[in-house]
């Protein structure tokens, strides 16, 4: 059996025993940690619904082995409001009504939070939208998502 898996998930340190070598981070998050906000969409890296932050970098949890991120910090949608950038993105999505069925929302929010952490708040809206191209919305609610991005405050850290 592999050694225990150590992750800091949404600020909480977790030590997980008996995680199989072949387990995806997505399944660890959903089934082992019970955090169902992270969604499984295509399971092949095309839709972005399973996006989480690993050490502040947006990551497809469906194409990442859990043991490959051993020792890392993981942020899921449940923990996004702990962070000021995450809270701001969440508020803008709510204000813009940037969701229909909501299935793609956690992935979009975390992908955007990751981009803002990488590039800073001053990044132009068009570039942020282009960099969200890995996230799909099957309801095609893109206009309201784009509105949420455009509404982000451009000043501050």
Q: Which residues bind other proteins (CB under 8 A)?
A: 2, 20-22, 24, 43-48, 51, 54, 57-60, 62-65, 67-68, 111, 114-115, 118, 131-136
The alpha-carbon radius of gyration of the chain (Å, integer) is 15
Rounded to the nearest whole angstrom, what is the least distance from the CB of residue 35 to other proteins in the complex? Answer: 17
Rounded to the nearest whole angstrom, what is the least distance from the CB of residue 28 to other proteins in the complex? Answer: 13
Rounded to the nearest whole angstrom, what is the least distance from the CB of residue 40 to other proteins in the complex? Answer: 12
| Phi, psi dihedral angles at 133 (to 5 degrees) | -65, -15
- Rounded to an integer, what distance in angstroms lies between the CA atom of residue 127 and that of residue 25? 28
- Rounded to an integer, what distance in angstroms lies between the CA atom of residue 24 and that of residue 67? 8
Choice between 57 and 95, CB closer to other proteins = 57
Choice between 95 and 104, CB closer to other proteins = 104
Choice between 2 and 95, CB closer to other proteins = 2
Q: Where are the alpha helices (DSSP H) in the chain?
A: 25-27, 84-96, 105-119, 125-131, 142-150
Sign of CA dihedral 57, 95, 103, 78: positive
Rounded to the nearest whole angstrom, what is the least distance from the CB of residue 94 to other proteins in the complex? Answer: 23
Choice between 59 and 105, CB closer to other proteins = 59
């Amino acid at each position: 059996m592999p050694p225990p898996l150590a992750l800091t998930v949404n600020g909480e340190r977790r030590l997980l025993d008996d995680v199989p070598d072949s387990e995806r981070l997505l399944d660890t998050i959903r089934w082992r940690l019970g955090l169902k906000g992270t969604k499984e969409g295509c399971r092949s890296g095309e839709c972005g619904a399973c996006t989480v932050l690993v050490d502040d970098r947006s990551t497809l949890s469906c194409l990442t082995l859990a043991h490959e991120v051993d020792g890392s910090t993981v942020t899921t949608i449940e923990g996004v409001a702990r962070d000021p950038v995450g809270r701001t993105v969440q508020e803008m999505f709510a204000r813009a009504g940037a969701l229909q069925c909501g299935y793609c929302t956690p992935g979009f929010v975390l992908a955007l939070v990751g981009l803002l952490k990488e590039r800073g708040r001053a990044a132009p809206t068009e570039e942020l939208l282009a960099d969200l191209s890995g996230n799909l919305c099957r309801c095609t609610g893109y206009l309201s998502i784009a509105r949420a991005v455009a509404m982000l405050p451009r000043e501050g850290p």
